Amino acid sequence: MKPSLFDYVAPRSVDEAISLLKEDSGAMILAGGQSLIPAMNMRLASPSRLIDIQNIPGLAHITVGNGKIAVGAMARHREVELHDGAAAANPVLRAALGHVAHIPIRNRGTVVGSLCHADAAAEMPMILVLTGGSVLVAGSDGRREIAAQDFFQFHMTTSRQPDEMVVEAQFPVLPPGAGFAFEEFTRRHGDYAIAAAGCILTRNGAGAVATVALAACGVSSKPLRLFAAEQILAGTRLTAADIKAAGDAACAVVTAPGDMHATAGYRKHLFASLVRRAVEKAAARAQ
């Protein structure tokens, strides 16, 4: 469990980081190192060069404004979790972050690193999808924004080009009056989700569902919006039957094969109940 030989560079600017990335196709960005370093130790990743972005000024920001929470590439999970402004603007971030690993890992690991790593069972990619957020990517031709739906392609695969770097993630604030919920099941506290469901929901004056977003992780090869379930709930008054139907519909997206932690059948069963619980909780919180 020792990495193979690699070079290490610590650029001082985003531009420098990008040109280093371009120079060497075997290079990888090092953020908090909480996913990359273990992978290197197990020789699952053998980068020729690590480009450590820790010392680049201006990447650790967390700002709330213009309807969104902007999280810089070096903002740590724990900083985002404890940021009161971010929690007030969209409490689902804090709710989900409490499930990401353990505090010592959150102290080092970054939210953007987690998005770039794009584990299909990871919480923060799902939150980006749930909230309809995006990432800001810098490359040699300048910067571009990629919507969450387009960013996550497959387990550990994103649409970021090899010579691009994500500089910021943007999470929209919670719509006024919306309720939210994040429901996850793991066998141990702090593990990656066996399945998780998130919900953001608003109700109209009559109590019917005005808008609803549902998303999931752990059930497929990437974080997903649950469009079919959303459609079932839209406009309803959330009777038990509506909620059950949404849970059942959500199950259709479960494609993760059975593994040592969950048989395929169990994961479906579990996921349906997480979706139901998420909807119920979000509804109860909605004004």
Q: Does 262 bind another protein (CB under 8 A)?
A: yes
For residue 116, the partner it binds in another protein, ligand FAD, none, with Cβ less than 5 to 8 A by kind, is ligand FAD
| Shortest reach from residue 20's CB to ligand FAD, in Å | 12
Q: Judged by CB under 6 A, which stretch of 121-129, 226-234, 243-251, 262-270 contacts ligand FAD?
A: 121-129
The site for another protein, by CB under 8 A, has a size of 25
Positions 18 through 57 that interact with another protein (CB under 8 A): 42
Q: Does 3 bind another protein (CB under 8 A)?
A: yes
**Pair 247, 225: CB distance under 8 Å:** no
Measure Cα distances from 57 to 32, 104, 185 in Å. Answer: 15, 23, 37
Task: Report phi then psi at 212, rounded to 5.
Answer: -150, 135
CA atoms within 13 Å, Cβ hemisphere of 272: 16
| Shortest reach from residue 61's CB to another protein, in Å | 31
Residue 206, Cβ density class (10 Å: 0-12 exposed, 13-18 middle, ≥19 buried): exposed
Q: Does 265 bind another protein (CB under 8 A)?
A: yes
Euclidean distance between CA atoms 132 and 171, whole angstroms = 7
Q: Does 2 bind another protein (CB under 8 A)?
A: yes
Q: What string marks each residue from 83 to 122 as x (binds another protein by CB under 8 A) or -?
A: -------------------x--------------------
Q: Does 189 bind another protein (CB under 8 A)?
A: yes
Positions 180 through 209 that interact with ligand FAD (CB under 6 A): 190-192
DSSP-assigned letter for residue 139 = E
Per-residue b/e over 1-13, b at no fewer than 16 CB within 10 Å?
Answer: eebeebeeeebee
Q: Does 187 bind another protein (CB under 8 A)?
A: yes
**Pair 106, 77: CB distance under 8 Å:** yes
Q: How far apart are the first and last CA of the chain?
A: 52
Q: Judged by CB under 8 A, which stretch of 56-64, 152-160, 185-193, 196-204 contacts another protein?
A: 185-193
| Short-list 35, 11, 205, CA closest to 105 | 35
For residue 4, the partner it binds in another protein, ligand FAD, none, with Cβ less than 5 to 8 A by kind, is another protein
| Shortest reach from residue 29's CB to ligand FAD, in Å | 4
Tokens coding 22? 């371009």
For residue 67, the partner it binds in ligand FAD, another protein, none, with Cβ less than 5 to 8 A by kind, is none
**Pair 270, 229: CB distance under 8 Å:** no
- C-alpha torsion 34→37→43→49, nearest 10: 130
For residue 131, the partner it binds in ligand FAD, another protein, none, with Cβ less than 5 to 8 A by kind, is none
Chain contacts with ligand FAD (rule: CB under 6 A):
28-36, 38, 73, 100-101, 105, 109-110, 112-114, 116-117, 119, 122-124, 160, 165-166, 190-192
